[in-house]
Amino acid sequence: MPDCIFCKIVTKEIPAKIAYEDAHLVAFSDINPKAPVHLQIIPKEHIARVSELTEKNADLVAKLVMTANRLAREYGVAEPGYRLVINCNPGAGQSVYHLHLHLLGGRPMKWPPG
């Protein structure tokens, strides 16, 4: 297992503001938020990047997205809208190599992203 900051959030070795947790997932506030609501939804299993997902992870991917949708409603950003982002590899700006789904909301979002 690599030295992984998000694995350490899963094991509570480093603190985070946890928004949701179950047997498979943790959701927590981003430490450097880019929007009024900025959560990370992550699998407890260490998967480095979205491109490493396989068919055996199909249920996990569904849980990630469904959890993000539910948290968007709970945090009051489902209307007028929110953005789910997964950055893959350095060219897309991935900086933490443990799969994470960004949930961003609470302000207007520009398109295309930078």
Segment near Zn ion (CB under 5 A), from 17-25, 29-37, 79-87, 95-103?
A: 95-103
Using CB under 6 A, count the residues that bind ligand AMP.
12
DSSP state of 78: T
Q: Measured between alpha carbons, how far is 112 from 109 in angstroms, rounded to an integer?
A: 9
Beta bridge partners of 29: 39
102 is catalytic: no
The DSSP H or E segment spanning 68 is helix 58-74
Q: Looking at beta carbons only, is 38 or 98 nearer to Zn ion?
A: 98
Instruction: Examine residue 93 and tell whether it contacts ligand AMP (CB under 6 A).
Output: yes
Given the residues 38, 98, 100, 102, the one annotated as active site: 100
Contact by Cβ (8 Å): 25, 44:
yes
Segment near ligand AMP (CB under 6 A), from 53-61, 70-78, 89-97, 105-113?
A: 89-97
CA-CA distances (angstroms) from residue 105 to 13, 55, 69, 73, 92?
28, 30, 11, 11, 20
The count of other CB atoms within 10 Å of the CB of residue 53 is 16
Min dist. Cβ of residue 9 to ligand AMP (A): 6
Kindly list the residues in this chain that would bind Zn ion in the complex (CB under 5 A): 4, 6-7, 46, 98
Kindly list the residues in this chain that would bind ligand AMP in the complex (CB under 6 A): 5, 14, 16, 30-32, 40, 87, 93-96
Active site residues: 100
